[in-house]
Amino acid sequence: MAKATMMTGEGAEEIVEELGISHDIIHEHEELAEKYMKVLYALGLLSIAGLVANSKKHAKASLVSYIVLLLAVAGVVFSKFVGTSGGEIRHTEIREVATNQTNEIEHSEHHNDDH
């Protein structure tokens, strides 16, 4: 599914660039997605290796299972970052820059209220 998602992302990139979205934001999301895809590929391969090791009662089967578990947790955390970076493309209110600007405005208003 990671590969299919990456393939559809190319078309989506063209569409949002036509809407005037910054290429830098799109590129950041694309880079995170490519790294996440590698994590998913590694997770898939290690999972298969774990299944084979468990079925053959290999001595390292439990070690592979723990590694797969850790990689799966890392994948879940990584997916949050990829999803958030994708959401920032169209939802400017969640971008870090927008948040920082809002905080500065609020801080400035509170400071002016004191005088």
Q: Of 64, 58, 75, which is closest to residue 1 (Cα–Cα)?
A: 75
Hey, is 21 helix, strand or coil?
coil
The mean predicted confidence, pLDDT, of the chain is 81
Q: What pLDDT score does 97 carry?
A: 58
pLDDT at residue 111 in the model:
56
> What's the N-to-C CA distance of the chain in angstroms?
57
Residue with tokens 């600007």: 101
Kindly state the tokens that stand for 53. Answer: 């090791």
Specify the pLDDT at position 24: 82
Please report the pLDDT score of residue 87 as a whole number: 83
| 89, pLDDT greater than 60 | yes
CA–CA distance, 41 with 33 (Å, rounded to integer) = 12
Orientation angle between helical segments 23-55 and 61-90, nearest 10 degrees: 160
pLDDT digits (tens, 9 = 90+) for 12-63: 877 877 777 777 888 888 889 889 999 999 999 999 999 999 888 888 888 9
Distance CA 28, CA 82 (A): 9
> Is pLDDT above 90 for 10?
no
